[in-house]
Amino acid sequence: MVFELTGCLTLRLPGDYDAKILRNRERALAKHSAQIGRMCTLWSGLEWDVTLFLVTISNLEDATSKNVLMGAMEMRSKLNALAAIGFKRRLTKRWFERLSKSIRTINDELRIERNRIIHDFWHSVPDESGVEVITRTTLSAKVVKEPPSGEQKLQLAQFKPVKPSEISDLCDRIVEANITLNQLRREYEWHPSGIPPLPKPLAK
């Protein structure tokens, strides 16, 4: 499929033409949008719990320092920091192995899938039989080999048909990762050698 960004001639169209186009797109993506909204909410909760874990294991007491540092870090940076400090303050070898696996799942799998869903373009594209299929489009120019000849060609975009159930499955995996992470944090908090000092009350 050829994908090219082009300009358009100015045409005389009905005043509500663009509104109809956008509303039709909205209706076509309604089921996907519901799952994407769910995914965003769950991802926000996961990042919140990653932040809490990092603050807990870092023993940061000063409220200003916590807010400034955590606010300046993106999700990937928080996960990398959690892995490093988690190794330094590991309860047991097995505990750190579980933490590492959880962080890899979030950072190397879930985060990448989430980013593609958020940042790619969503279209209704006809398949070979003419049936409209909701497709996620990634603008990514690269040289690929055309099967079966092996001839090289320039690919300007990647198209991936996506069902609402696939986004729902990603949501479930985010929840599972969040549960595991919270269990590890509580084990750290409840362990005799891992209980951080109580935070000092904020100044009024």
At residue 7, the pLDDT reads 52
Q: What are 153-170's pLDDT values in tens digits?
A: 887 888 888 999 999 999
Asked if residue 133 belongs to a domain, the reply is no
Asked if residue 150 belongs to a domain, the reply is no
Beta bridge partners of 146: 151
Predicted confidence (pLDDT) at residue 202 exceeds the cutoff of 70: no
Asked if residue 69 belongs to a domain, the reply is yes
At residue 10, the pLDDT reads 55
At residue 168, the pLDDT reads 97
Asked if residue 180 belongs to a domain, the reply is yes
- Domain span at residue 35 reads 19-120+163-190
Asked if residue 134 belongs to a domain, the reply is no
Give the separation between CA 101 and CA 108, rounded to whole angstroms.
Answer: 10
Asked if residue 100 belongs to a domain, the reply is yes
Domain count, the chain: 1
At residue 156, the pLDDT reads 85
With contact defined as beta carbons under 8 Å apart, do 59 and 88 qualify? no
Predicted confidence (pLDDT) at residue 183 exceeds the cutoff of 50: yes
In Å, how far are 90, 98, 100, 173 from 93, measured between CA atoms? 7, 9, 11, 25
Asked if residue 137 belongs to a domain, the reply is no
At residue 39, the pLDDT reads 97
At residue 118, the pLDDT reads 94
